[in-house]
Amino acid sequence: MPIVISLYDFFAFTIPGFLYLALLVYFFNIGGIVRVDEQTLKSLSLAHVVLLAIPAYILGAVFTPTARIWHRLFSRNPDIAGAVLKRFRATHPSVMVNFEAQEAFLLLAFIQRRNKEVATNIERLNAIHIMLRNISFAFLLLTVAQLVEFLRIGWSVWGVFPPLVLFLLSLFAGKAGVRFAELFFLAIYEAIAADRLQVEELVGYKPRECQAS
């Protein structure tokens, strides 16, 4: 049975999974379990990278629930779908909204039946959101690893920069992940609203006044 990793899965789980994999290799290297040096990395072929995508995908999927908990710290309102729906109603007061935020993924399933191309574009936003969320948590773990290394080696001015940079990357990725989550839910609501629109409701023509001859 062939193993197929979709583009959605690749962005959402495999890319962050490579960071988790690098973290495991780092700790194995310190513990002397395996020895990975620059020469080992240079000897990797494309086939090796493809094979590594399998454990990377698994690690990305395994760490996703924990990454979701970490990601809640970046949003003022944990109910992102509800907050976006509230803003959507305020921005479009003429639109009669007869659904709740909890039904967002049910609405997405409806969009998939109506227009797969639109649904694919919406799902892409969610894939990027999940990817950034997982990357943010991976950078956090890498920050901890660098701090452990910093304490193990001893104080140095340059030793502060790696954990600091990684932590900032974690914050930036987390904030960007929240933004893409908001865009994801907004795209669902806009697609549903647009599906009900009629051209006649948007544009009309005033009757021309007869000019006196």
Contacts of 68 (CB under 8 A, 6+ apart): 133
User: Which residue blocks in 72-115 are alpha helix, DSSP H?
Assistant: 80-91, 104-114
Q: For residue 209, is it within any domain?
A: no
In a domain, 210, yes or no: no
Say what the pLDDT of residue 95 is: 83
Please tell me the predicted confidence (pLDDT) of residue 3.
Answer: 47
The pLDDT tens digits of the residues spanning 88-123 come to 999 988 888 888 999 999 999 999 999 999 999 999
> What average pLDDT does the segment 71-93 reach?
90
Question: Is the pLDDT reported for residue 125 higher than 90?
Answer: yes
Distance CA 5, CA 187 (A): 25
Confidence of residue 36 (pLDDT cuts 50, 70, 90): low
In this predicted structure, what is the pLDDT of residue 108? 94
Domain membership of residue 111 as a residue range = 7-197
Question: Is residue 134 in some structural domain?
Answer: yes
Q: What is the pTM of this model?
A: 0.81
What band does 190 get if pLDDT is binned at 50, 70 and 90?
A: very high
Chain centroid offset of residue 204 CA: 41
Length of the chain: 213
Assigned domain for 207 exists:
no
The answer to whether position 212 is within a domain reads no
The number of domains in the chain is 1
pLDDT at 37: 65
Q: How far is 139 from 171, CA to CA, in rounded Å?
A: 9
Does 168 fall in a domain? yes
Report helix, strand or coil for 147: helix
Per-residue model confidence as pLDDT tens digits over 144-166: 988 888 887 776 777 788 889 99
Does residue 178 lie in a domain region? Answer: yes
